Amino acid sequence: MRALRWRDIDFANATIHVRASYTHNRLCVPKSGKVRSVPLIDQAATALDALSRRDHLTEPEDLVFVSPTGGYLHDGDTRRQFYAALEVANLGHKREGPRQMTFHDLRHTFGTLAVQAWPLSDVQAYMGHADVTTTMIYVHHVPKHGAAGALTALVGQRTSNLDRGAPTNAKIGPRPAVRFSHASTRGSV
């Protein structure tokens, strides 16, 4: 984020290109070793658009997040600004206790939300993970809504086809309604 330049933001295509990283006071290739593109959501685009309207340091080669002199932000400054933002948002308590929120936790928040919106392979690419097993740490956050219904429909279709002697790879139709005899989900079908 500290290496992001205005040329890396494609507002028209709602995309941010991650071309470089700035870590330990040096510019280097991104974590994945290659350029990647990340979707630019409306909330971030709005904030970046407002920032692009500042009086100076908005040329394509200028850094988006800059020090007062136009250089890279120091890591400590970034952390302090993040902690101050937590306080303003009444989230200062997230910095207390044994598991204190850090700036890096924002990356984990992205991963947690991303697996709920996109296929795992897309999230892997957006996060720059070389191996999908790294991305798998976020899979437990994927809602399982409809999973039972989908499997019920598949099994129902396959067993119905077997009963009729039809091929088992036929297209699955809508899920039949199932009514339980008790208020509990353990009732008989």
**Total domain count, the chain:** 2
Q: Is residue 97 in some structural domain? A: no
- What DSSP string runs through the chain? -TT-BGGGEETTTTEEEE--EEETTEEE--TTSS-EEEE--HHHHHHHHHHTTSSSS-STTSBSSB-TTSSBPPHHHHHHHHHHHHHHTT-GGGGSSSS---TTHHHHHHHHHHHHHS-HHHHHHHHT-SSHHHHGGGGGGS--TTHHHHHHHHHHHHHHHHHHT--TTSPP-PPPP---SSSSTTS--
Q: Is residue 84 in some structural domain? A: no
Q: Which of 72, 88, 107 is the last residue of a domain?
A: 72
Give pLDDT, residue 13.
96
Strand partners, 147: none
Using the structure block, give the residue that is written with the tokens 């697996």. 115
Contact assessment for residue 4 and residue 10, using Cβ atoms and an 8 Å cutoff:
no
Q: Which of 72, 100, 133 is the last residue of a domain?
A: 72
Q: Is residue 131 in some structural domain? A: no
CA 20, 24, 79, 58 dihedral sign is negative
Q: Is residue 139 in some structural domain? A: no
Contact assessment for residue 114 and residue 141, using Cβ atoms and an 8 Å cutoff:
no
Residue-by-residue pLDDT tens, the chain, 189 positions: 899 999 999 999 999 999 999 988 899 998 778 899 999 999 999 999 999 999 999 999 999 999 989 999 998 899 999 999 999 999 999 999 999 999 999 999 999 999 989 999 999 999 999 999 999 999 887 777 777 777 788 788 877 766 666 555 545 455 455 454 444 444 444
How buried is 147 (Cβ within 10 angstroms: 0-12 exposed, 13-18 middle, 19+ buried)?
Answer: exposed
Residue numbers of the domain that contains 165: 146-189
Bin 185: left if φ > 0, else alpha if -120 < ψ < 50, else beta.
alpha
Q: Is residue 105 in some structural domain? A: no
Cα(127)–Cα(20) distance, integer angstroms: 13
Q: Is residue 1 in some structural domain? A: yes
Q: Which of 16, 38, 72 is the last residue of a domain?
A: 72
Give pLDDT, residue 81.
93
Q: Is residue 137 in some structural domain? A: no
Q: Is residue 175 in some structural domain? A: yes
Give pLDDT, residue 177.
53
